[in-house]
Structure 1
Amino acid sequence: MRETQHRQRKGESEMGGKRGKQQRQPARPRLRDLSSFVDESDHLPSSAYDPPSHQDKESGASEEEDDPRAEEKWIDGPPSKFELYQRSVQSPKGDISYMQKFFLMYVGGRMPLHLQEDFCGTALLSCEWIRSDPRRTAVGLDLDLEALNWCLEKNLANIGIDGCSRISLFHGNVLKPQEAHLVKQMVEDFGRKGQDITTEVARMNVGSESGKEVCSISSTMKEVGLPGRDIICAFNYSCCCLQRRTDLVMYFKHALHALSKKGGIFVMDVYGGTSAECKLRLKRKFPNFTYVWEQADFDIINRTTRISLHFQLGKKHIIQHAFSYNWRLWSLPEIQDCLEEAGFCSVHFWVRKMPNTNSFGNTAEDTVDQDLKYEELSSFQQQDAWNAYIVGVAN
């Protein structure tokens, strides 16, 4: 889970308004023909490893001072660590926009409808995927049952009964996906004051109840009939949790097997740069809390480190080590080799330079354009910090 969701991301994707025109496009359009599929009104997908933007600095937000009234701004009391994570780390609209672009570039011929989000956590991306098109389905898989339960209670409540019927959440290990168990949803009738969706996790047989739709936690992914996925993603650097090469290859093989026989893509992200291989502490200020990325010493032999995410709400309420991970920082050629060994026919790198981590104190020194887009590259010179999408294509 390294699941920065910016509240200003409210622009609608241009995909929906141009769907009719897209059907007349060639199956493998060139890059210049695909610019419309990245929503220019949206901000870029962000990441956990993300220095403060110009907007953060120009707004007068201090990295050292916290608003003592911050706690008062939360109407229902302090938010959970999952809510803070979604607000500070995730940007699902940007991710979806790029995934659509990748699919149309490398597969083409149809619109992507079926998504699987591995390491999904609270499945925010899956919920946004469902909301973006009434034909779409989503599968979420994660080992953290607490995060999945939070999704059932919070995120699914915002997508309605139709949306809930098109998403399946599984509790299990990405290295053994077929053994993952379906997490039950129980969707109550609509209340008079709007959508009233109650969720719970239970151990009972697949079936239905009056006024409810029920899924069973006893059903495994192998037992549930799922369509071949058009896109499988593993974002927020989740693949760094797999520290052995054999495990990474095995995971990629499972992803390839789950993709549609008509063709599909696997998309993951990774970060790097000289600052990624040293002890580091980054802060990012949000309207009523501060997000902190803390990176421990880096082992250059095993390429391992420990990452901790902290949140501070005002001066008194601090959530230390809200999320902590021991992971291996994979290099781009290592990932490419593993994807090809797993059976993907081609691998593509989309890279974006990030602001220098050593120039936070002076806005003038932050020379990276915050609107710089990801570009497909075959060569990229080392920087202080960069982010990358890696796209594996199955045809």
Structure 2
Amino acid sequence: MIWWKMAVQSPRGDLSYCRRFHQTYIGSHEPRHLREDFCGTALLAATWCRGGVFRSAVGLDLDRPTLDWGARHNGEMLGGSAQHQLALLEGNVLDPADSALLVPFPEAGPEASASQSSASDETHLLRYLRHVAAALDQARGGIFVADLLGGPAAERDLTLPRHNSTTGLGYTWVQSGFDPVTRRMTGTIRLREMDGREARRYNFHYDWRMWTVPDVRELLRQAGFSTTYDASAGDGGRTSDTSGSQEASGSDSEESEGEADFQPHEDLDPEARQRLQRGWSAYIVAVLAPQPG
């Protein structure tokens, strides 16, 4: 089982890495089930299901209109009977009853997905991570994957115009208001029309607590995960390369498209480590090892 949440999604690259992490840390059996917390429009979960009839996914989010939009647009890409592979639920990941709703496919393997950006303080984040560990398959094991960003590039005011080569649409990422004491950062995505004008009515606003890799690793240990790993990319990694495709078939070759240059931190060369001084993006992979017997 894979547990996942990403702030800015490039589904093909994200899923390729997830499958690679699962094979490396859990075993050779193909993961079947993905859980996506704070799922929004559930693009990642829907793309996962599209990779094969044996796959299933569930997503949880607080915002019903967003879930409905995702069901209409991303869920429909599954087509016909395949739509039963995806379940989108409204609820709070910090509520044990709502969190328990996310395991409607008991026969599925142990993958899941989740993002820390909405957990605003250490108590809430630890509580959430304990729910994650409890929901994973204790017998077969599973992984929890999340992404983090940080460094000076994530802590200063900036405006970055971006373009999605797949959809042809553009947007501007506006970052402002980082507080070094509370480590909270606010940001806005301003979509642009095809003619380049900003479509202000489609703005997305974020209020994030910026966690460090050591902080999250320690909380994962307290939550009951046996091991954690990180894979890093310099210069903000994912934050500076967000042109991922909006659809994928799920095959190995196609899922590999859209990957950023993520490497285990200990394998980074001196030049890559130098780039981390400006800004970084990292996957955190928490492993719940299979129980013997």
State the TM-score, normalized to the length of structure 1: 0.60
The equivalent residue for 2:66 is: 147
1:252 equivalent to 2:129? Answer: yes
Work out whether residues 272 and 386 of structure 1, in 8 Å CA contact, stay in contact via their aligned partners in 2. yes
Label 1:258 to 1:371 Cα distance change in 2 as closer, same or farther (>3 A): closer
Aligned to 1:352: 233
Corresponding residue number in structure 1 for 2:213: 332
Deviates more, 1:139-148 or 1:224-233: 224-233
Long gaps (5+) in structure 1: 1-46, 49-88, 181-219, 360-369
1:252-273 Cα shifts (integer Å, max 9, x gaps) = 1111111112100000001112
Within 2, Cα distance between the matches of 1:163 and 1:291?
Answer: 32
In the alignment, is residue 240 of structure 1 matched against residue 120 of structure 2? no
Q: Which has the higher contact order (CA 8 A, sep 6+)?
A: 2
1:67 maps to none
1:113 to partner: Cα distance: 0.5
Is the CA contact 1:148–1:169 (under 8 Å) kept in the aligned structure 2?
A: yes
- Assess if the C-alpha contact under 8 Å between 1:113 and 1:135 holds in 2: yes
- Are 2:141 and 2:288, in contact at CA under 8 Å, matched by a contact in 1? yes
Asked if 1:384 corresponds to 2:278, the answer is yes
**Structure 2 partner of 1:201:** none
1:375 corresponds to which residue?
A: 263
Partners in 2 of 1:309 and 1:265 — Cα distance? 30
Residue deviations 1:337-372 (CA, integer Å, cap 9, x gap)? 11001010000010011379xx9xxxxxxxxxx986
**Structure 1 pair 337–383 and aligned structure 2 pair: CA distance change class (3 A):** same
For residues 236-266 of structure 1, what are the alpha-carbon distances to aligned partners after superposition, in whole Å with 9 as ceiling and x for unaligned?
Answer: xx41221110111111111111111210000
CA–CA distance in structure 1, aligned partners of residues 197 and 158 of structure 2: 24
Return the offset for 1:290: 2.5
Larger radius of gyration: 1
User: Out of 200, 203, 223, which is 1:319 matched to?
Assistant: 200
Deviation per CA, 1:117-165, whole angstroms, max 9, x where unpaired? 1111111111111111211111111112111101121112111233211
Cα distance in 2 for partners of 1:371, 1:226 equals 30
1:30 is aligned to none
CA distance in 2 between partners of 1:329 and 1:139 (Å): 26
Letter in 1 for 2:263: E
Q: Distance in 1 between matches of 2:161 and 2:58?
A: 32
Distance change in 2, residues 1:393/1:303 (3 Å): same
Structure 2 vs 1, CA of residues 270 and 353 (structure 1 numbering), >3 Å: closer, same or farther? same
Residue in structure 2 matched with residue 341 of structure 1 by the alignment: 222
Is 2:45 aligned against 1:126? yes
Q: Superposition pairs for residues 263-302 of structure 1, below 5 Å?
A: 263-286=141-164, 288-302=168-182
Change (3 A) 1:136 1:286: closer
Shift of 1:90: 2.6
Q: How does 1:17-36 map to 2 (within 5 A)?
A: none
- Residue 55 of structure 1 aligns with which residue? none
| Partner SS, residue 138 of structure 1 | strand
Indicate the residue corresponding to 2:244 in structure 1.
Answer: none
SS at match of 1:296: strand
Structure 2 residue matching 1:297: 3-state secondary structure: strand
Counterpart residue type for residue 217 of structure 2? Q
Which residue in 2 is equivalent to 1:193?
none
Residue 178 of structure 1 and its aligned partner are, at CA, apart by: 2.5
- Matched letter for residue 375 of structure 1: Q
**Alignment root-mean-square deviation, CA:** 2.6
SS of residue paired to 1:373: coil
- Mapped partners of 1:328, 1:371: distance in 2: 25
Aligned to 2:249: none
What is the count of residue pairs matched by the alignment?
A: 255
**More helix per residue: 1 or 2?**
2
Q: Kindly provide the amino acid, as one letter, of the partner of residue 327 in structure 1.
A: W
Q: Identical aligned pairs, as a percentage? A: 35
Q: Which amino acid aligns with 2:154?
A: A
Counterpart residue identity of residue 266, structure 1? F
Partner Cα distance (1:154, 1:371) in 2: 24
Q: Secondary structure of 1:349's partner?
A: strand
- Are 2:184 and 1:304 aligned? yes
Relative to the length of structure 2, the TM-score reads 0.79
Q: Measured at CA, do residues 328 and 371 of structure 1 come closer, stay the same or move farther in structure 2, by a change above 3 Å?
A: closer
Matched-pair contact (CA < 8 Å) for 2:60–2:89: yes
